[in-house]
Structures are given as C-alpha cells and as structure tokens.
Structure 1
Amino acid sequence: MAKVIAVNISEKKGVIKHPIEKGFFKFNHGLEGDAHAGDWHRQVSFLGVESIVKMKAKGALGLCSGKFAENITTEGIILYELPVGTKIKIGKVVLEVTQIGKECHAGCEIMKLVGDCIMPREGIFAKVLEEGYIKAGDEIVVEE
C-alpha cells in the first residue's frame, strides 16, 4: 500500500520544510500557508522515502522528511515513473501530476553537503484538482 509518511510546509522559499500534523490542500493553489503554493503547475511537491534512503546511502547525514523541500513524503510508490497527467487521490484530495523532476536551484543545501540531490530526478509536482486535508498515514491511490 502506498501512503503518506509526512506533510511538510515552509513559510518562505529556499528553506527546508518542517512536518505538520495535517495540511489543507486548496483547489488550484496547493498546501495552504506554503511558500510554493499558488496559481501555477508546481503547487505540490512529492518525494518518496525510498529516494531519501538512496541519498543516505551516498553519505548524506541527518536526512528526514522535508529536507528536500517536498510537501508530501511518500512510501510504497515509485513517483517518478508516474506519467504527467496521472491523477493521485489521497483521502478526498485529487491531484494531477504536472512535472517529473526539476532544475536544482543554485545553492541547494543537499547539493552542498553531498554533491548530489535526488529531487531533480525523482521528485514530482502536481496541481490540486479537488481540495481537502492530507495527513501522515493516508493511503495514496493512483487513478487510472
């Protein structure tokens, strides 16, 4: 079963996100109160705990949910294999995958520490189609 490990938020861009108990994912906006939310195609970011484990194996210390600035940390799903346009349902929230990977911004903290960052290859982005709350432990369903 694919599930949410953590919901993470930051009030400003370029900083590590911190976990919250639950987050409200607003239609065509993203996680309410998050710096990356807004009317664009990268409203919500996802990264699998499996990707974080890969970085730990490369020697990255102190990694945990939110360190890659992802809004939703997942387990049990290979996110970067989901095609753009795939719909993901978490509770009542429906999201649509809009982008796989991204350009790593200059000065990425993980890149400085380890010499590599997994988010550009294995992180994904989505927009919110149906709003609601998401919390750790929620099941992730990929809709066909």
Structure 2
Amino acid sequence: MNKIGKVLDINISETKGVIKKPIEEGIFIEEFGLAGDAHAGKWHRQVSLLGIESFNKMEELGIEGLEHGNFAENITTEGIILYELPVGTKLKIGETLQEVTQIGKECHSGCAISKQVGKCVMPKEGIFTRVIKGGVVRPGDIIEVL
C-alpha cells in the first residue's frame, strides 16, 4: 500500500449538501475541522477526503466535467487508496495530524451532488477524519500514512 500521497485541493462550503469550492489554503482546527466549513464541529466526521482515483472512476462511467469539491470533499487527494485505510489510521496532512474515523457514509436523499453529478462515490470511497493536531494544509502538501 502506498504510504505517501498528495493534497490536490482544499474545498469548502458554508452549507451542507452542496458542492464545495476550492480555496488556496485550509486552516484546520484541532478537534473541530476546516475553519469556515459546514461539516466542521465536535463530532467524528470533521474532515472528508476523496481521492482523484475515485473521480477517474466516475469519468470512466461517462460523467464529464467533474471538478474537485463536486463530491463535497474537503481534501481532494492523490496517490493513496483512502477507502483501504483502516479506521484509526493516522495521517499527517500538511501541518496537521488527522485520524481516520469512518470509511464511506450513507448519502442523504435529495443530495445536491448526486442530482448534479448523477451518482456519488462518497458513500463507498470517501473517508472521514478528525483533526488531532491543527494547522494549515495547502494544495501540493504531502499526505503521509503513519
């Protein structure tokens, strides 16, 4: 399994259930998540991550025009098959330390993403983390599986 990956984008939205927009850097707050993001808070799904590999699968199914943030992921990654990481895995992402808390999720009905995109990969391939140590994460930062 690849132990090193890369951050492609940091994405944010002020409301839940909508496509997120890329930002130049994310400020991740310990035990809270991405500052300014609707999903941040004192719970186990503070940060969502999805690999570009999952985007590529969707494009192979004929879905065009996908952009990072379309699946409401906070961090778009490359190089690590995220959904193969066991819950409890620690990830060093930029200046932060995060712990995998959940693999996949149930999509709520009427999800804007599946309406706009036609299908969503988050339920099977997206992962969630909590922020153990806060800091800044920028596109291009290294992700290290500890």
Q: Which residue of 2 aligns with 1:71?
A: 74
The alignment's C-alpha RMSD in Å is 1.1
Helix, strand or coil at the partner of 1:133: strand
Aligned identity (percent) is: 64
Helix, strand or coil at the partner of 1:50: helix
Q: Of 20, 23, 26, which aligns to 2:23? A: 20
State the distance in 2 between where 1:91 and 1:69 align.
20
| Deviation of 1:114 (Å) | 5.4
Equivalent residue letter for 1:8: N
State the distance in 2 between where 1:23 and 1:53 align.
24
State the distance in 2 between where 1:22 and 1:100 align.
24
Helix, strand or coil at the partner of 1:2: strand
Gaps of 5+ in 1: none
State the distance in 1 between where 2:82 and 2:65 align.
23
Alignment of 1:46-57 (within 5 A): 46-57=49-60
State the distance in 1 between where 2:38 and 2:66 align.
21
Helix, strand or coil at the partner of 2:55: helix
State the distance in 2 between where 1:39 and 1:7 align.
20
Equivalent residue letter for 1:56: E
| Deviation of 1:113 (Å) | 4.8
Question: Does residue 8 of structure 1 match 2:3?
Answer: no
| Deviation of 1:96 (Å) | 0.2
Count of residue correspondences: 143
**Contact 1:60/1:113, CA 8 A, preserved across alignment:** no
Q: Of 106, 109, 128, which aligns to 1:106? A: 109
Q: Which residue of 2 aligns with 1:128?
A: 131
In structure 2, relative to structure 1, the CA distance for the partners of 1:58 and 1:68 (3 Å cut) is: same
Partner deviation per Cα, 1:37-68 (whole Å, 9 max, x = no partner): 00000000000001011011112121110000
